Amino acid sequence: MLLTLLSHQWKANYRSSVFQKSVALNIIMGLLILYFGTIFLVLGFTLGNILGKVAPGQSAVALFNGALLFYFLIDLFFRFLMQELPVLAVQPYLHLPIRKSRMVHFVLLKSVPSMFNLVFLLIFIPFMFREVIPAYGTGAALAWLFAILALTLLNNFLLIYFKRLLSIKPILTLLFGLAVAGLLLLNYLEVFSLFAVSQVVFGAMMEMSWLAAVPVLLLLGAYLLNYQYLIAHTYPEELAVREKTNVEGKGIAFLSRFGELGKLIELELKLMWRHKRPKSMLMMSVFFIFYGLLFYPNDTYLDGFAWLIFVGIMLTGMPMFNYGQFVPSWQSGHFDALLTRRISPYQFYAAKFWIFVPVALLAYLVTLPYGFFGYKIILVNTATLLFNIGVNVFVIFFFSVYNTSRLDLSKGSAFNWQGVGASRFVMMLPMMLLPVLIYLPFKFFGVPYMGIAAIGLVGLIGFVFQKQLLQWSANWFLKHKYKLATGFRQE
Amino acid sequence: MIEVKNIEKSYSGKVVVNIPELTVTAGEAVGLVGNNGAGKTTLFRMILDLIRPSKGKVYSKGLNVAQSEDWKEYTGSHLDEGFLIDYLTTEEYFKFIGDLHGLTDGDITERLLPFMDLFNDEILNQRKYIRDFSKGNQKKIGIAAAVLSNPELLILDEPFANLDPSSQIRLKNLLRNLREHKRMTMLISSHDLSHVIEVCERIMILEKGQLVQDMQTNENTLRELETYFTV
């Protein structure tokens, strides 16, 4: 029976239009998996040496054990942000003679073979072979790995449980989050050392292998907790994560001053706020603010300009790119309505434009503190901001007419490839390359600062001629609207 | 009001709609009947410029709908749920439509008054999004939104489907009132032969994309239609 359900799931995935349509996307995904997989594997094999260099004289395994608890806590946090709740569309099965317990087991077990649970084995297993087995013997090493695996799955089931409770008993989830944060805080305040605790706990497991049974028991407990909860709530209405709250229809008074344009902007903001996908996309954009930390502290990046331009475009433009890649698919659910109502394509695009400009400006202001790493950053980011709102906006609009697949707004955006077309990847190229191309000749003639000014100037010119460019975007859209409408009508 | 000239739509060589000539004069109510796949919705979509015809043109008040957007000012339409902005509440949606046509809140309330019977206290002040309404209630919202702008031309695709019997009768009376008092031109497709006959004075039968019959309604129409559709 479980196998039948599994085959249904497989068919649902395999036959979904996303999977079948975009071979290119699957190839890109495959390459990404291969890339990160290789990185993790290499890391797993070399971690012993790296740790030996960082802290010479100490046992690599002891250091690794000390970090494990941190790893599990951070793992929980990332799962909370990104992991989706496993759901089987149970509705079609409920009226059939299938035992509920089987379905619940299926839904739960389905979450095990996920990337979150498996990818880090690529680090743990090579590390075990290189470091743990030579030092402690095979039996202890296997117990150690077994414990880690059990704890990973414990994380998996704990998270699923608390994330599910989030919509029903948010207090419990909040308490759980506070407990995790409290542990990290206590460690920070040096009340006790998580590092030492972690070392003792995992060290003990290597000494006394039977202790590995403890995490397994915890795992069983978490599994049962989930099981009890789900078996009591197998009604589709209760399984659905959507909260049934009373909604208040509120307008944004400030926007009504801008007439029809303000109306459209308000509508778009409501769209963002009332759907899961745009909301989670906004959350991810917020995290992207920290992208600069990868580059700016490193002097090699600060010396030249090309990298700074790249980072500047990303920092001031990321929220815009994230949202813009699905223009106008966001409206795919009611696209026919927009076409038959008194809304001109010009207004439609002008509304998007006036959402993007303040957002880019906000991203620019929020990332201004990076200026502490060097005044150059502020110069470059100002130029890239202008370029984003004067040129890249219209690059987005140009590519927008190729987004002909319907977008499902009710799913989260992490690892969600539904509605993602190849145009999205092509779109990034001109947005990244154009400013660098503008800059290069100036660099060649030894006046790099003029190059930065030129990027800003080109952006400014685009911004000044926004009316004409928007009109052009609207006409471009009109040429493609039938194709878009047809694409969006296909579920 | 509406002139269809030599229109044809084909998908990969298969003709789904082919209508050489069709004229609807202002104030006329036209009922479109036909089995599934006859091309009713496709024809409506071409009239609303949602699908590009393979051949031919549609004129609304003499202007090609694919080139001018003037028809949007005086045309109200509801074909399916895709016409609703489903993440708004009903009130927000009506307000949005009203704003597009420069209506005040008072205007909207007044224009919705005739719908109160049809709404049956299930539509307004529900504190939920349109996507959470039932199909039937979504249909009522869509029809009300289409009528809200007081359009000269109203296009509805199967307005009676998904409605309960009382709602069907109320909607039928409502549409007849709109005809009599506002002289609204109507294009209505329906599978319910008796309702569509009561609302429309002209009935057209569409079969496999062809217009096979075009007749004025009289006391024998229902029987003729039933004979036609009896296989």
Q: How confident is the model over A24-77, as pLDDT tens digits?
A: 667 777 787 788 888 888 888 888 888 878 777 778 888 888 888 888 888 887
Query: Does residue A250 fall inside a structural domain?
Result: no
Burial per residue of A77-104, b for 16 or more beta-carbon CB atoms within 10 angstroms, e otherwise? eebbeebbbbebebeebeeeeeeeeebb
Where is the domain boundary, A171, A205, A239?
A239
pLDDT at A90: 60
Are residues A51 and A115 both part of a single domain? yes
Give the distance from residue B52's alpha carbon to the nearest chain A alpha carbon, in angstroms: 6
| Residues spanned by the domain of B108 | 2-229
Are residues A284 and A228 both part of a single domain? no
Give the distance from residue A16's alpha carbon to the nearest chain B alpha carbon, in angstroms: 21
Total count of residues recorded for chain B: 231
Q: What is the number of structural domains in chain A?
A: 2
CB B186 within 8 A of CB B156: yes
- Residue owning tokens 């036609």: B228
pLDDT at A91: 59
A352-to-A346, A388, A400, B101 alpha-carbon distances in Å:
10, 14, 11, 21
Query: Does residue A247 fall inside a structural domain?
Result: no
Is residue A21 very low, low, confident or very high in pLDDT (cuts 50, 70, 90)?
Answer: low
Average pLDDT of B132-139?
A: 91
How far apart are alpha carbons B150 and B148 in whole angstroms? 5
Query: Does residue A197 fall inside a structural domain?
Result: yes
* Model ipTM value: 0.72
Are residues A173 and A301 both part of a single domain? no
Q: Which residues, including other chains, have CB under 8 Å from residue A471's CB and lie 6 or more apart?
A: A346
The 10 Å Cβ neighbour count of residue B23 is 11
pLDDT at B154: 94
Are residues A409 and A455 both part of a single domain? yes
Q: Is residue B55 helix, strand or coil?
A: strand
pLDDT of B187 above 90: yes
Are residues A235 and A264 both part of a single domain? no
Query: Does residue A245 fall inside a structural domain?
Result: no
Which one of B72, B77, B99, B143 makes the best mutation probe of the A interface by having the most chain A beta carbons within 10 Å?
A: B99
Task: Work out whether the CA dihedral A60, A66, A72, A74 comes out positive or negative.
Answer: negative
pLDDT per position as a tens digit, A373-423: 888 889 999 999 999 999 999 999 998 888 888 888 877 666 666 766 666
Are residues A276 and A169 both part of a single domain? no
pLDDT of A466 above 60: yes
pLDDT of A303 above 70: yes
pLDDT of A242 above 50: no
pLDDT of A241 above 50: no
Burial per residue of B87-102, b for 16 or more beta-carbon CB atoms within 10 angstroms, e otherwise? bbbbbbbbbbbbbbbe
Are residues A72 and A103 both part of a single domain? yes
Are residues A118 and A176 both part of a single domain? yes
pLDDT at A253: 67
Phi, psi for B160 (deg, rounded to 5): -85, -15
Tokens (6 digits) for B93: 């949606």
How many Cα atoms sit within 13 Å of A103 on the Cβ side?
A: 23
A407-to-A9, A22, A211, A342, A404 alpha-carbon distances in Å:
21, 15, 49, 24, 9
pLDDT at B86: 81
Which one of B9, B47, B51, B96 makes the best mutation probe of the A interface by having the most chain A beta carbons within 10 Å?
A: B96
pLDDT per position as a tens digit, A124-143: 888 888 888 888 888 888 88
Q: In chain B, what are the helix, strand and coil shares in percent, each to the nearest 5?
A: 40, 25, 35
**Which amino acid, one-letter code, is at A260?**
E
pLDDT of B123 above 60: yes
Query: Does residue A246 fall inside a structural domain?
Result: no
Tokens (6 digits) for A341: 């109502």
Tokens (6 digits) for A123: 């680090």
pLDDT of B190 above 70: yes
Give the distance from residue A113's alpha carbon to the nearest chain B alpha carbon, in angstroms: 33
Are residues A273 and A163 both part of a single domain? no
Are residues A229 and A262 both part of a single domain? no
**Which amino acid, one-letter code, is at A47?**
L
Rounded mean pLDDT of chain A?
81
Query: Does residue A206 fall inside a structural domain?
Result: yes
| Residues spanned by the domain of A383 | 255-489
Are residues A219 and A275 both part of a single domain? no
Q: Are strands B29-33 and B185-189 parallel, antiparallel or unpaired?
A: parallel
Interchain proximity B73–A335, CB inside 8 Å: no
B113-to-A309, A380, B97, B118 alpha-carbon distances in Å:
59, 59, 16, 10
Taking the Cβ of residue B74 and every Cβ of chain A, the question of whether any pair is shorter than 8 Å is answered with: no
Q: Is residue B129 helix, strand or coil?
A: strand
Any idea what DSSP says for residue A333? G
Q: Is residue B20 helix, strand or coil?
A: strand
A348-to-A278, A434, A462 alpha-carbon distances in Å:
18, 26, 19
Query: Does residue A248 fall inside a structural domain?
Result: no
Is residue A221 very low, low, confident or very high in pLDDT (cuts 50, 70, 90)?
Answer: very high
pLDDT at A95: 59
| % pLDDT > 70, chain B | 100
Tokens (6 digits) for A222: 């978490």
Is residue A231 very low, low, confident or very high in pLDDT (cuts 50, 70, 90)?
Answer: confident
Interchain proximity A249–B82, CB inside 8 Å: no
Taking the Cβ of residue B129 and every Cβ of chain A, the question of whether any pair is shorter than 8 Å is answered with: yes
CB A119 within 8 A of CB A36: yes
CB B144 within 8 A of CB B94: yes
Query: Does residue A189 fall inside a structural domain?
Result: yes
Q: What is the number of structural domains in chain B?
A: 1
Are residues A322 and A406 both part of a single domain? yes
pLDDT at B28: 92
Taking the Cβ of residue A337 and every Cβ of chain B, the question of whether any pair is shorter than 8 Å is answered with: yes
pLDDT per position as a tens digit, A173-196: 778 778 888 887 887 777 777 788
pLDDT at A37: 84
A185-to-A46, A81, A178, A191 alpha-carbon distances in Å:
31, 20, 10, 9
Residue closest to A361 by CA, chosen among A402, A320, A392: A320
The segment with the largest mean pLDDT, out of A90-99, A167-176, A440-449, is: A440-449
CATH number at B215 reads 3.40.50.300
**Which amino acid, one-letter code, is at A455?**
I
